[in-house]
Structure 1
Amino acid sequence: MRRGGPLQRITPLTAKKPMGRGQGLKPGKAAAKPKRARRTGPPTDVMALLAQRSGGWCELGIVCLGNAAAVDPSHRIAKGMGGTRDPRSNTAANNMHACRTCHDLVERSPAESYANGWKIRRGQADPTTVPVRHWVHGWVYLDEAGGWRPALDYSPEVPS
């Protein structure tokens, strides 16, 4: 092929015969269906615990100030691009019930998210031992049963 010139066929186009009757897809042999995305979020019982703890409202309250319906579980320890087999990933202590806007902000602002306990570095700590800033209750420790307890022994480091 010459560079810069028009494209030219080396072999001429040939007419093809149409597909004969009965040569298409056979009944029962349908084309492969696309796979449905596997649900990797918390199971329904954990989502029920999150809904009970949050009352259905955003627990983060960063943008919405707790006045938006919670629709997303926000993982404190990220699952990662390929998912995770870590059993702590889908527990009530590792998830906060969040509205879409606050959840997006947590994902886009990692420094603020780590400072407030909304994110925890993978392999660093157990989510039940890391305090988190809750919109309603302040600094708390979340537990596996969907509850919380005040983090009285915790005072956040304030940058000077």
Structure 2
Amino acid sequence: MSRRQTGFPPLVRTLIYERSAGRCERCDEWASDCEIHHRRPRGAGSTRRPETNYASNGVLLCAECHRHVESYRAKAFDDGWLVRQSHDPKARRVFRREQWVFLDDEGGWRPAPEPVEGRAS
């Protein structure tokens, strides 16, 4: 019986690192302690959904920003650092480096419209 992949494969990790240019995608600071964060969490015991380990679901965060995202989850959902299980990360904008963007599975991003007050993205 083969083990399920529980993290980003090497090629996807490379795409995420290249998109970030080695800087935290939240605060834009250089950090030696950066970690790849799953926007839509894998859940306990991993997941069978392959898109969980696509580049649109991963962001490079410094340890401080990663702790902040995990500690202030309501704000993290509002800002796109966390994505609900029922949502597609490609379709959920994220407030990356002071601008709203959509992430893609090729390791890129494109500008996203500003959120409308009082409405979720």
Name the residue aligned to 1:149.
110
Deviations 1:2-46 (A, max 9, x none): xxxxxxxxxxxxxxxxxxxxxxxxxxxxxxxxxxxx872201100
Name the residue aligned to 2:70.
107
Query: What's the offset of the Cα at 1:130?
Result: 0.7
Name the residue aligned to 1:132.
94
In structure 2, list runs of 5 or more residues that go unmatched: none
Query: What's the offset of the Cα at 1:118?
Result: 0.4
Report the TM-score, using the length of structure 1 for normalisation.
0.66
Structure (1 or 2) with the greater helix fraction: 2
Q: Mark the structure with the bigger radius of gyration.
A: 1
Contact 2:37 2:59 in 1 (8 A): yes
Query: What's the offset of the Cα at 1:67?
Result: 3.4
- Measured in 1, the distance between the counterparts of 2:46 and 2:116 equals 31
Contact 1:57 1:69 in 2 (8 A): no
Name the residue aligned to 1:56.
22
The number of aligned residues is 116
Residues 70 and 154 (structure 1 numbering): CA distance in 2 closer, same or farther, change over 3 Å? farther
Q: CA RMSD in A?
A: 2.0
Deviations 1:82-118 (A, max 9, x none): 1111111111100101111111111111111001000
- Measured in 2, the distance between the counterparts of 1:46 and 1:60 equals 19
Greater RCO, CA 8 A, separation 6+? 2
